[in-house]
Structure 1
Amino acid sequence: MACRISEVVLGCRDPEALAVFWCDVLDFVVLDREEGCVEIGPREGFGGPQPTIILSYRDEPEPGKARLHIDVNATDRDQDAELERLLALGARPADVGQRGDEGWHVLADPEGNEFCLLKARLAPL
């Protein structure tokens, strides 16, 4: 028996605003709200093939560079079109020392949490 990822927790200053951003990026919905937390995920809810994301209020960012980030792949368009969509949603380019010839784009969400847009298109679930 093995484990699989069921949730990813992201500390942030404004869980509601990031929920809107990530729901738009991933076509997720809000699944639950508790004081200081918003859980978003696929319409089927918790326990499906995709993990949910819990956006958890934090007063201040935790010190040091985040050790975890999210990678996303477009499902219905090429990487360039998806990059335009993500930038229009409020993502911004992030410089983590890329050379410029990578097959991915490093971006930051509205609170500065880094994530990558990978090149390969995946089939929608």
Structure 2
Amino acid sequence: MACRISELVIDAADPERLAAFWSDVLGYAELGREDDGSIEIGPPGAGFGGPQPTLVLSPTADPRPAKLRLHIDVSPTDRDQPAELDRLLALGARPADIGQTGEESWHVLLDPEGNEFCLLRRRLDPA
């Protein structure tokens, strides 16, 4: 038997803001809220345990201490990479310079709270 990723938990100063951002990026919907202020988002109609992991935006007052050891990679599903980059920037993502050469096939971005993620070139089936 094996494991699979069921959810990713991201600490957030403003869970509401990050939930809205990542819902727009991924086409996710809000699945629930906890008493501690955590917000879970995931694929509409599937939710926790579905084929894609859900995201839990968990409130924290601790500032980000350093570069995260894990980041999210996203791939476009219904447009090419340049068009998806424009969409992500319009949603509030910002370009990040982490020492890229300019020859990479991906774009390094920051979400509204400064968490790094990458937009890959390869287009994926949305399913």
| Structures share fold, TM-score greater than 0.5 | yes
Partner of 1:24: 24
SS at match of 2:119: strand
Pick from 51, 54, 72: which aligns with 1:52?
54
SS at match of 1:32: strand
Measure the CA separation in 1 of the matches of 2:85 and 2:12.
Answer: 23
Measure the CA separation in 2 of the matches of 1:63 and 1:115.
Answer: 17
How do 1:32-47 and structure 2 match up within 5 A?
32-34=32-34, 35-43=36-44, 44-47=46-49
Partner of 1:89: 91
Measure the CA separation in 2 of the matches of 1:36 and 1:69.
Answer: 22
Q: Which residue identity lines up with residue 37 of structure 2 in the other structure?
A: G
Q: Does structure 2 retain, via aligned residues, the 8 Å contact 1:39–1:53?
A: yes
SS at match of 1:82: helix
Structure 2, unaligned runs of 5 or more: none
Residues 27-47 of structure 1, C-alpha deviations (whole Å, 9 max, x = no match): 000001012200000011111
Q: Which residue identity lines up with residue 4 of structure 1 in the other structure?
A: R
Partner of 1:122: 124
Residues 39-92 of structure 1, C-alpha deviations (whole Å, 9 max, x = no match): 000011111110000000110224221111100000000000000000000000
Structure 1, unaligned runs of 5 or more: none
Aligned length: 125
Give TM-score, length-normalised by structure 2: 0.96
Q: Which residue identity lines up with residue 19 of structure 2 in the other structure?
A: A
Partner of 1:79: 81
Residues 76-113 of structure 1, C-alpha deviations (whole Å, 9 max, x = no match): 00000000000000000011111110000000000000
Measure the CA separation in 1 of the matches of 2:104 and 2:81.
Answer: 13
Moved over 4 A (4+): none
